Structure 1
Amino acid sequence: MPKHAALLGYLGLIPFFAIPVAVLMDILSYPQAFAFFTQYSAIILSFFGGIHWYVAITDPKFSHQLYVAMLPSIVAWLALILFADARTLGVLSLAYVAVLIYDKFTLQMAPAQIIEYTRMRVILTTLVVTSHVVMVGLS
């Protein structure tokens, strides 16, 4: 996997840590931070469907992945519209873990770069879910 791709993945963590810190430093109120955090989290979760889209259009044996590609976006959107409390963070956290588990099992036969991507995702998902727990603790 290109180093700049990994760097961008890790830089994507900044809002997950900056928003809770902004609450602790009284830069943002919790309701404001909650809105920013959940919206960003939903956008990033939606992004994870993209790898399935890519795999499906580049390798015919993975064409079924086109259907899976849409699920993170739908779950993220539903979490935003159905809840406005800690349940949103819970649904998003569970979805991050579920997508990671699914990716680890279904993308094993994908090209080497994608295998590296899923390894990096273990670290990223752990940190993202931890930041969700911190946001719940701040409420």
Structure 2
Amino acid sequence: MPIQFKILGYAGLIPFIVLPLIALADINNYFYSFQHFVQYSAIILSFFGGIHWYDALQHNRVNHQLYVAMLPSIVAWLSLVFLDGGLLLGVLSCAFIAMLMYDKYTLVMEKQKVIEYTTLRLVLTTVVVISHLAMALIA
């Protein structure tokens, strides 16, 4: 896997790490930090649906993958609209974990790329879920 993928993946963690720290240090009102955190989380979750949309198009498959590609965006949006607090953070966290598991068993790649991608996603998802937990504990 080219280093650019790893750099961009780790760079994407910055808001997940910084926003809980800002809330903890009381630099910004917790409400605003929380809102920015869950909005960013929803955007990143939606991005994972795009990966499956492209994979389904690339491999000319119109099966469950094409439909599942829409779920992260729908779950993210509905969560932002109807949920709040710890429940919102929990649903987003579970959705990240579910997408990681779905990626592992669905994406069509060479075996070595699957291992590298899944390893990277495991690290990134772990940090994301821990950040969600931290945000919940700071409240």
- Asked if these proteins are the same fold (TM beyond 0.5), I'd say yes
CA distance in 2, matches of 1:111, 1:66: 20
Cα separation, partners in 2 of 1:102 and 1:75, compared to 1, 3 Å: same
Task: State the one-letter code of the partner of 2:109.
Answer: A
Which segments of structure 1 move beyond 4 Å, counting only runs of 4 or more? none
- The gaps in structure 2 that reach 5 residues or longer are none
Deviations 1:15-70 (A, max 9, x none): 0010011112221111111100000000000000111112111112x332221111
Gaps in structure 1 of 5+ consecutive residues: none
**RMSD, aligned CA:** 1.4
What TM-score results when the alignment is normalised by the length of structure 1?
0.92
1:1-139 correspondence runs (5 A): 1-60=1-60, 62-64=61-63, 65-107=65-107, 109-112=108-111, 115=114, 116-139=116-139
Cα distance, 1:8–1:26 mapped onto 2, change above 3 Å? same
Secondary structure of the 2:26 match is coil
Residue range with higher mean Cα deviation, 50-59 or 8-17: 50-59
CA distance in 2, matches of 1:129, 1:122: 10
Per the TM alignment, residue 113 of structure 1 is displaced from its structure 2 partner at its CA by: 7.2
Paired residues in the alignment total: 137
> In 2, are the aligned partners of 1:23 and 1:30 still within 8 Å (CA)?
yes
Structure 2: distance between partners of 1:89 and 1:46: 15
Contact 1:38–1:89 (8 Å) recurs in 2: yes
- Percent identical residues: 55
CA distance in 1, matches of 2:75, 2:113: 23
User: Is residue 55–residue 110 contact of structure 1 (8 Å, CA) maintained in 2?
Assistant: no
Change (3 A) 1:43 1:114: farther
Q: State the alpha-carbon separation in 1 of the partners of residues 6 and 36 from structure 2.
A: 24
